A and B are shown apart, each in its own frame.
Chain A
Amino acid sequence: MSNTIELLETIGKDASLRYASGESLAQMLSGRLASECLLSAARSGDRGQLTQEFGQRDIKTSHSANQEPVPADDDDLGQQDDDGRDGSEVTEH
């Protein structure tokens, strides 16, 4: 597993590898004792092939709020808004 992570990092930071064809990547990886899962994933460009090695874990990606937060002791955000004080808490760039 750690070798796979290291090889992914190697690909990610190497300009000649990051956009290489699947076959080129697989050729490079086969010389570096890559797992069958990584070889297959690199060849196809399909991360799903790595599930067998790392398992399937649900990751939530939402970090933002779409409404102005109410005080900490009130968790029902759906009940407030539209009083002219809106100004969302979604952070700007």
Chain B
Amino acid sequence: MRLADFGTTWTKWYDTETKSYGVVRTSEVDFRAAVGTGHNIRSRADRMINELVALAEGGLKRIPEPDFVLVDVGSREIKYVRFENRRLKEMNWSTSCAALTGFTLELLGSYFRLDFDHIRPAKQSVPVTCGVLGMEQIFELVGSGVSEADAVARFTRGLAENALRFSGNPEHLYLSGGMTSNALFCKSFPLGVEVISLGRFVLVEGLMSGEGVIDAGCP
């Protein structure tokens, strides 16, 4: 049985028979899932679970603490759930405040030919509320003499601060979604904030019904 999270850019899947998992461009998906979630699910799954439910269920599977905040940052949107005593206390999903965050970073990375594994996190941030507005500021910075890598690092820190604000400024947060594959983003949260990355399969895991745990963390 295949479980899949059909994201805006990437589809994450898990095969319960072979115990294997993988990532494929959503535009290249050539399979149908038994259970699915995600922005681009359309008619690609026999059964659909909504993304917040999948995220929350995945968080409950992966995180042992009674109280936790889990934030999922993907290509296009940001979602979070807050549990107290293993009981859902708060949640939110924004497609506008975090619009195109991961997607914008991918574009910038390939445009400037940047390797996110080797960019030093910025101490300053560009105050961004969405990828498109932030991109304009990057080109302003580059035009004023800041290096391309540093401009993108400031932008990335702005995205991280935005994700933190959106989830209520917790001191400890679990991070999931495609952006956990971006080392610069993972390191761009302000000092004093403990970020624990769970990788990009948390939603897929939320689709399982006690069938095991996928171990895939941050780079």
A and B are interacting partners: no
